[in-house]
Amino acid sequence: MTTIGATAVLDRNGLNGLVAELMAGGRTVVGPTVRDGAIVLAVLDSAEQLPYGWGVELEAGRYRLRRREDEAAFAHSAGPQSWKNFLHPQREKLWSADRAPDGTVAISTETAERPSYAFLGVRPCDLRAIAIQDRVLTGGHFKDSGYEERRRGAFLIAAECTEPGATCFCVSMGGGPGADAGFDLALTEVIDDTGHRFFVRVGSEAGAELLARVPHREGDASTRDAAVSAVSEAVDKMGRAMPPVSLQQLMGSSLEAERWDDVASRCLTCGNCTMVCPTCFCTTTEEVTDLTGDHAERWQRWDSCFDLDFSYVHGGAVRASGRSRYRQWLTHKLGTWHDQFDSSGCVGCGRCIVWCPVGIDITEEAAALHEEAEARKKETDR
């Protein structure tokens, strides 16, 4: 019998069967696939749509697809989207109101159907990001009911990292390329002389039930050892690292740092970093009416602390300069997030580095703030 903690091995056909079973059970399966020159997250009709044979080259402000010499499906790092695009979508209608000819107004809170998702290929950094969004959006006094509903029904299949990108730094954020919790099934892709296969670990009852319905074989020692060593080798392949200091303290002591002027001279305040970040959660609401004025809708949509309106308070924006907005983003993400949610707001996925149009690198900024703090300390000690 398949149980939590059990292991198994799936081949490519087995993975196809897994996706087919999920779909037959009414789930919308989302996973990585090649589209528009990138590996994006999209609804899949089959596991054959995974990016077999594709990898990526990442650098600050640069993303390129590249053909691989093997047929690996999960040997690529984070793309432009994260799972928040599905769990916490960019736009969602909250309610609508209709005025009848007699002047009475009827309010409807009917929302679009919320799919029962299965996410295939969730990276360990993204598992941590989902856990952070769970705390933010369902763990406090103000719950996001849409997120809560989508999250409650979601089935998560993790894909451990064996080839981190040049912009990855999860290890220095206390994470790593291995998946330790928060999944229903965890896959580790293995390609060696014995063939192309996926080592599977069962993380939940639902995962055990699904696996039992799919052709698989029991986990063998050689596949397990190959999977474990691929993940442990990935620890040393991180392209970047944060300075090895308390980032929370560093942010707290850097509020007047000169580096904010330097980064502000490069930052376009475009907000891309907040859009791609898997933990950024801020939203605003907007009302729209039709031309008759008899139908109105209220929508929730993503917002960004880089928008001038974000800090607008009766008559003006509190953070009017780019300097103050970048500082707000970084000090919240790495510093005050701990006070609010008991963790960092950064999981080290590297997306904000890749998708910043001017290549601003969060690890480089933190390192520069650290150097400046050290120089200040030396000056004071003299």
- Residues in contact with 133: Cβ distance below 8 Å, sequence separation at least 6, in sequence order: 84, 87, 88, 147, 278, 279, 281
Helix or strand run (H / E) with residue 302: strand 295-302
Q: Does 271 bind ligand SF4 (CB under 6 A)?
A: yes
Question: Candidates 39-47, 86-94, 110-118, 347-355 — which segment interacts with ligand SF4 by CB under 6 A?
Answer: 347-355
Minimum Å gap between C-beta 182 and ligand SF4 is: 16
Minimum Å gap between C-beta 164 and ligand SF4 is: 12
* Structural contact between residues 354 and 63, judged by C-beta atoms closer than 8 angstroms: yes
Minimum Å gap between C-beta 122 and ligand SF4 is: 14
The alpha carbon dihedral of 73, 78, 84, 89 has a sign of negative
Question: Candidates 205-213, 292-300, 311-319, 345-353 — which segment interacts with ligand SF4 by CB under 6 A?
Answer: 345-353
Amino acid at 334: L
In angstroms, the CA 375 to CA 324 distance is 22
Q: Does 358 bind ligand SF4 (CB under 6 A)?
A: yes
Q: Does 347 bind ligand SF4 (CB under 6 A)?
A: yes
Minimum Å gap between C-beta 203 and ligand SF4 is: 22
Q: Does 346 bind ligand SF4 (CB under 6 A)?
A: yes
In angstroms, the CA 334 to CA 356 distance is 18
Q: Does 306 bind ligand SF4 (CB under 6 A)?
A: yes
Question: Candidates 68-76, 105-113, 261-269, 289-297 — which segment interacts with ligand SF4 by CB under 6 A?
Answer: 261-269
Q: Find residue 330's DSSP bridge partners.
A: none
Q: Does 32 bind ligand SF4 (CB under 6 A)?
A: no
Minimum Å gap between C-beta 215 and ligand SF4 is: 37
CA-angle at 145, arms to 144 and 146, nearest 5°: 95
In angstroms, the CA 200 to CA 8 distance is 5
Q: Does 177 bind ligand SF4 (CB under 6 A)?
A: no
Binding site for ligand SF4 (CB under 6 A): 267-273, 276-279, 306, 333, 346-352, 356-358, 360, 362
